[in-house]
Structure 1
Amino acid sequence: MDCAHLVKANSIQGCKMNNVNVVYTPWSNLKKTADMDVGQIGFHRQKDVKIVTVEKKVNEILNRLEKTKVERFPDLAAEKECRDREERNEKKAQIQEKKKKKKKK
C-alpha cells in the first residue's frame, strides 16, 4: 500500500487528484503493439493485473518513505560487464565438468 502512495505522490496528474487507481502488473504481462499511441499499453492476461485505489495523500506514509530513501548512481555498464563475466565463467565451469565426466566414463 505504501508503494501506491509513493506512485501517486510522484505522478504529475495523480498528486493533484483524489481516488487514483494505481495499476500493478509484471513486466512480462505488458502488451505493446505498433498501432498503440505513445504511453498506451495493454495486458496479455487481465488476471495478473492488480489495481489499488489511493483515496487521499497521506503525508505520514510519504514522510516515512522519504526518510528511508537512498539514491544511487550505479555504473550500469560495469555492472553488466561483471555479470556477463560471471555467467561466462559459470558456463565454462559447467562445460569443463561435463568433459571430466565424459573422460571418466
Structure 2
Amino acid sequence: MVFYFTCLSDPKYVIYCGRDKFENEHMIKWGWPEDVWFHVDKFSSAHVYLRLPNPGQSYKDIPQKIVDECCQIVKDRSIKGKKEPAVDIIYTPWANLMKTKTMDDGTVSFKNRKHVELVKNVARDRPFLAKIYKTMTDDLTVDFEKQRKDRDREERKKVKEAAKKQEKEDREKRKKALEDKKARDYDVLFDFGVTSDGPKECEMEPDDFDDNFM
C-alpha cells in the first residue's frame, strides 16, 4: 500500500511513501527524476518522496514549509525515530540514490554525498502533523513501473514537439534572412543604375569616346 499526502502549503507538491521495505525497493527502482528522497538519519524509517511539480526544479529550491512537512512525516514513520525527542533528517534527489546487488531490500547509499541535505533536530509537531495526516490517502493498485514509463513517454513527446517547434522557427528565420538578403541585393542593383529592364543607355555621344580615352 502506498500512502499519498498533499502538501498543505502548496498542493502542486505530492508526498508519498511505501508501507514496507519491499515497496521501498520498488520505489527506489522506479522513482522519477523529479522526486526527492527523505529519510531519518541513523535510524530506520519509511522512504518518503517529494515529487516536485517542475522537472527543472532543484531540490535546493524546495520551500522550507514543504521540507518541514516531509520531515514531520518521515520522523513519524520511523519506529525508533518517532520516540526520540528530535532526530536529524536527510534528503537528496532520487537520481543521487545508489543501489547495489549486495544491499538488503530498502537499503540505499549515495552517488555523491555533496548532494545530501541535512535538517537537524526535527521535533514532532503534533498539531501540524494532524493537519498533514488529514490529506493522506492510500492506493493499493499503484503501478510504479507503469507510471515511470508513462512519464518517460510523455517527456519524450514533449522533447520531440519542442524540437519540431524549434526547427520550424529556424526555417522561418532562414527564410526571412534570405528574403532580406534578396531585398538588399535588389536595392544595390538600383543604386548602380540597373533596372529590371536592363542597364540604362549610355548618354554619351559617339564622338565623346575619342575625347575621353585619349
Q: What is the TM-score of this pair, normalised by structure 1? A: 0.61
Q: In structure 2, the residue corresponding to 1:34 is in which secondary structure?
A: coil
**Percent identity at matched positions?**
32
- Is it true that 1:66 corresponds to 2:136 in the alignment? no
| Alpha-carbon RMSD | 3.9
- Equivalent in the alignment of 2:109: 42
Paired residues, what number?
99
- Is it true that 1:53 corresponds to 2:53 in the alignment? no
In the TM superposition, residue 27 of structure 1 has moved relative to its aligned partner by 0.8
In the TM superposition, residue 72 of structure 1 has moved relative to its aligned partner by 5.9
C-alpha distance in 2 between matches for 1:11 and 1:72: 18
- Is it true that 1:12 corresponds to 2:52 in the alignment? no
Q: What is the TM-score of this pair, normalised by structure 2? A: 0.35
- Equivalent in the alignment of 2:26: none
In the TM superposition, residue 12 of structure 1 has moved relative to its aligned partner by 2.1
Q: 2:95 is matched with which residue: 24, 28, 50? A: 28
In the TM superposition, residue 26 of structure 1 has moved relative to its aligned partner by 0.5
Q: In structure 2, the residue corresponding to 1:25 is in which secondary structure?
A: strand
Any idea what the Cα deviations from partners look like across 1:37-63, whole Å, max 9, x if unmatched? 343321111111011134431112102
Check whether the contact 1:4–1:54 (CA below 8 A) recurs between aligned residues: no
Look up the equivalent residue of 1:6 and give its one-letter code: I
Q: In structure 1, the residue corresponding to 2:71 is in which secondary structure?
A: helix
In the TM superposition, residue 8 of structure 1 has moved relative to its aligned partner by 0.6
C-alpha distance in 1 between matches for 2:124 and 2:142: 34
Q: In structure 2, the residue corresponding to 1:65 is in which secondary structure?
A: helix
Larger radius of gyration between Structure 1 and Structure 2: 2
Larger % of strand: which? 2
